[in-house]
Amino acid sequence: MTVSVGMFDTGYTRLKHRIDAMGLDIDIRTFDKDGNFNIGGAKVPAAETEVDYLWLGPDLAGGSLGSLPFDIALACKRIDVLQTFNAGLDNPAYKKLSEKGIRICNSSAQSVAIAEYTMAQALSLIHPIDDQRAAQAKKEWIRTPFREIANTTWLIVGFGPIGATTAARAKAFGASVNVIRRSPQISEIVDAASTLNEIDRFLPDADVIVLACPLNDETRGLAGQSFFTNIKHGAILINIARGALIEDEAMIEALDRGQLEAAALDVFHTEPLPAKDPLWNHPKVRVTAHTSFAGDGTHSRWDALFFDNLPRFVQGEKLMYEVAPADII
């Protein structure tokens, strides 16, 4: 039986030869930025369109087309499976789509880039690079002792593809790596693992804390007063997940009293971050514009996941990164 596949017209133009080479029995139905599908050469509104498999690919990522991807998905008459470029599914559209019975697959394509971003931030905060640059500017021959990554303990909250990829890189530097995950299973790249209700047991030992977990009712406001009271003095916090995991006032208080040494933040409660937000000018905060995913290999991995998952769907096999409806808030 022919499988109908919906995708953005720009993506199809870019990948047409590779799609044709797959040799699958599929009917490609592209949609444009005006929200219309091309079916058999005719423009058809999304509300009248049925697709078995809808791909929201990298040509739609980055926000340049606003809410178009979600508007299209919500408007379609029928979708069986939606594969998205997002790793986190906290956008309210995903909940609505899931409630319509649509199966949703998220993305692991960002994992390598985000893990590298995390390591870059951690290394540059632990190693006295700023002091070395200041000494160079003054032409001062000063040795700058530093703490080795191998002598640090990391706590990674969330052990999906992003958390696991980050853990592997920290472990490669010789760090001790503990993780908070849904099940307390230990893998070869971590030293200890537990669930969220035991996070307070790990906070006092963590030199680097990485938030890499989904945003849901259990994790919203995770890093609040109690969290920052329990952290190790001089800890570093890196958030590459969602801004609402952190209570900003509690974090700023921890920074100001020295309990928290520094925070590298790529995600925020409101994005873009308002110009008046105090995080912009705080001397111990690094602000980046939700850019940790933007490595030069992310787009090709987004494509690769599509080319891996689509044949699985056509052949009735288990899909990669399908998210349980209960995990979509």
The answer to whether 289 and 272 are in contact (CB under 8 A) is yes
Residue 57 DSSP SS3: coil
Q: List the catalytic residue out of 290, 299, 301, 312.
A: 290
Q: How many CB atoms lie within 10 A of CB 129?
A: 13
The answer to whether 185 and 193 are in contact (CB under 8 A) is yes
Query: CA-to-CA distance for 122 and 95, rounded, in angstroms?
Result: 34
Q: What is the pTM of this model?
A: 0.94
- Per-residue model confidence as pLDDT tens for the chain (329 residues): 999 999 999 999 999 999 999 999 999 999 999 999 999 999 999 999 999 999 999 999 877 788 999 999 999 999 999 999 999 999 999 999 999 999 999 999 999 999 999 999 999 999 999 999 999 999 999 999 999 999 999 999 999 999 999 999 999 999 999 999 998 888 889 999 999 999 999 999 999 999 999 999 999 999 999 999 999 999 999 999 999 999 999 999 999 999 999 999 999 999 999 999 999 999 999 999 999 999 999 999 999 999 999 999 999 999 999 999 999 98
- Whether 182 is catalytic is no
Q: What is the pLDDT of residue 65?
A: 84
Q: What is the pLDDT of residue 64?
A: 75
111-287 belongs to CATH 3.40.190.10: no
Rg, the chain, Cα only: 22
Structure tokens at 124: 């540059």
Structure tokens at 42: 């005719």
The answer to whether 285 and 265 are in contact (CB under 8 A) is yes
Query: CA-to-CA distance for 306 and 14, rounded, in angstroms?
Result: 13
Q: Helices (DSSP H) in the chain: which residue ranges?
A: 9-21, 68-75, 92-99, 111-126, 129-137, 161-172, 199-202, 225-230, 248-256, 298-314
**64, 34, 28: which is closest to 46 by C-alpha?**
34
Q: What is the pLDDT of residue 183?
A: 87
Query: CA-to-CA distance for 27 and 39, rounded, in angstroms?
Result: 9
Query: CA-to-CA distance for 167 and 292, rounded, in angstroms?
Result: 16
Task: Give the CATH class of 3-109+297-322.
Answer: alpha beta
Q: What is the pLDDT of residue 186?
A: 80
Q: List the catalytic residue out of 29, 103, 242, 301.
A: 242
Give me the DSSP letters along 281-316. G-TTEEE--S-TT--TTHHHHHHHHHHHHHHHHHTT
Within the chain, which residue ranges are assigned CATH 3.40.50.720? 3-109+297-322, 111-287
- Whether 242 is catalytic is yes
**274, 196, 199, 243: which is closest to 90 by C-alpha?**
243
Query: CA-to-CA distance for 280 and 93, rounded, in angstroms?
Result: 29
Q: How far is CA 297 from CA 43, 63, 182, 294, in A?
A: 34, 19, 29, 8
Q: What is the pLDDT of residue 184?
A: 87
The secondary structure element, H or E, covering residue 222 is none
Structure tokens at 258: 């020295």
**66, 62, 72, 1: which is closest to 30 by C-alpha?**
72
